[in-house]
Structures are given as structure tokens and as C-alpha cells.
Amino acid sequence: MVGVSADHAVALEVAAPQPGRDVPAEHRGLLDAVLARDGALAADRLAAHLEATHQVLVRVL
């Protein structure tokens, strides 16, 4: 999972640099919420991550 997360983060950074955004930290935060079994927090973090990623894809594509 860590390799996939790192690859995803690198691909996003290469495609569209995002100053101030730390994609691996977003992934770790999501995983921490899941491991803590905090469904609401995990859902919020996933939604925020997907929205930020969506904005990058819209800009790049």
C-alpha cells in the first residue's frame, strides 16, 4: 500500500504541482482514521482527498 501511495503522490505532483499539498500525509491520515475505526473521520478524509484529486484531474485533463 505504501508503494502505491507514493506512486500516486508522485504522479499527481508531476502532473500538476500543488504547493502546500502533502498527498502521502493525506493517505496516512486516512489510514490512521480507518485503523482507529473512526468511520466518520475516514469518510471525511477520503472525501477531502478525492475532491482535491478531482480538482487536479480537471485542471490537467
Which helix H or strand E contains 54, and what residues bound it?
Answer: helix 39-60
Q: For residue range 3-38, what is the model confidence (pLDDT) as tens digits?
A: 556 676 677 777 777 888 888 899 999 999 999 999
**The pLDDT of residue 49:** 93
Please give the grid coordinates belonging to residue 2.
505504501
Q: Please determine, for residue 2, whether its predicted confidence score (pLDDT) is greater than 60.
A: no
**The pLDDT of residue 5:** 62
Query: What is the average pLDDT across 40-52?
Result: 96
Q: Please determine, for residue 1, whether its predicted confidence score (pLDDT) is greater than 50.
A: no
The upper half-sphere exposure of residue 25, i.e. CA atoms within 13 Å in the direction of its Cβ, equals 3
For residues 7 and 2, the model is more confident at: 7
